[in-house]
Amino acid sequence: MKKIGLFFLLVSSFTFAQKSALAQKIDAITKGKKATVGVSVLGFENNVKYNKNGDRPYPTLSVFKFHIACAVLDLVDQGKLSLDQKLFFKKEDMLENTWSPIREKYPDANISLSLGEVLDYTVALSDNNGCDLLLKLIGGTQTVQKFMDSKGVKGFQIKRNEDDMHKNWKTQYDNYSTPNSAVHVLKKFYDGKLLSKKSTDYLMQIMIGTKTGTNKIVEQLPKNTPVAHKTGSSGKYDNGLTVAENDMGIITLPNGKHYAIAVFVSNSTETDAVNCKMVSDISKAVWDDFNK
């Protein structure tokens, strides 16, 4: 019994030391930065956990497009929507002063795209016009909130669409998630507790194909590492304020195991480059810790 007790003590001490080393690295990365940084990490197979400001709410920005996509695909699973159905973009649907690869490709609008195409634009390319059309299709942000609530997702709120946030940037704070909520919803997603297997696999592939945020959590990871992620970025406002520079995702390790990571940078007066470098450096520190 003494040997068994000593074994568990050694294992516990090792885990604590491992977490402590990671915490020290992340503290060093964020030290002196004029920003609020939240981090959460969750190992899927070994349940290793780490967080810094994990229960603090951070404005999500486009990270919320993952939650929206889940709500849309839930309606697909119910047979109320189809990935093949067409969505029509009128000229007035195309906001001008917003990030929109759809508008760039179809500047005259008046086009029809399949729901599947719009989901891809909205998640992998973070298209804001696609996002708002999806919200309009499913009945607004309240539909997303009700879906997440029904799945037991805590620490998440969505009240504003992209149009709202562009009319008044301060409303960006009305949409939030805690870092711990972000990694736990990703674990629910991975475990098939949000959507059918077909829809889970479908959205996972879209997220692995994400084109935005190449200078965030994926930047310093080995090439071809599977990273299913969703980014968010606010840009700059009064006195050089960045409301948010975010990234969250599921990362597959070389041994085939997985972890979820969320890095949220908020209320920063650092440059965009410094904000993104913090996200990238934290991601690399976590990767190194899991690959010891």
Using one digit for the tens of pLDDT, what is the confidence trace for 99-137? 999 999 999 999 999 999 999 999 999 999 999 999 999
Q: For this structure, is 62 an active site residue?
A: yes
Known active-site residue 270: no
Q: Which amino acid belongs to residue 110? A: N
Per-position DSSP letters for 134-162, written without gaps between them: HHHHHTSHHHHHHHHHHTT--SEE----H
Whose structure tokens read 């007066």?
Answer: 269
Residue 239 pLDDT:
87
Q: Which of 162, 181, 234, 268 is catalytic?
A: 162
Q: pTM of the predicted model, to two decimals?
A: 0.92
What pLDDT shows up at residue 8?
Answer: 43
Query: Is the pLDDT confidence value at 14 over 50?
Result: no
- Asked if 29 and 212 touch (Cβ cutoff 8 Å), the reply is no
**Cα separations (Å) of 134 from 73, 129, 155, 156, 208?**
11, 9, 23, 19, 21
What's the whole-number average pLDDT of the chain?
93
| Cross-strand pairs, 50 | 41
* pLDDT tens per residue across span 59-80: 999 999 999 999 999 999 999 9
239-267 average pLDDT score: 97
Q: What is the pLDDT of residue 73?
A: 98
Could you read off the pLDDT of 191-240 as tens digits, one per residue? 999 999 999 999 999 999 999 999 999 999 999 999 999 999 999 998 89
Average pLDDT, integer, range 246-264: 98
pLDDT at 238 (0 to 100): 87
Distance CA 134, CA 68 (A): 8
User: pLDDT tens across 140-181, in order?
Assistant: 999 999 999 999 999 999 999 999 999 999 999 999 999 999
Q: For residue 11, what pLDDT band results from cuts at 50, 70 and 90?
A: very low
Cα–Cα dist 151/246, whole Å: 23
- Delineate the domains of the chain, giving CATH numbers in brackets: 22-291 (3.40.710.10)
d(CA 28, CA 245): 19
Q: Residue 255: pLDDT above 60?
A: yes
Q: Which residue of the set 62, 177, 266, 280 is catalytic?
A: 62
Of 190, 221, 216, 220, residue with least CA distance to 203: 190
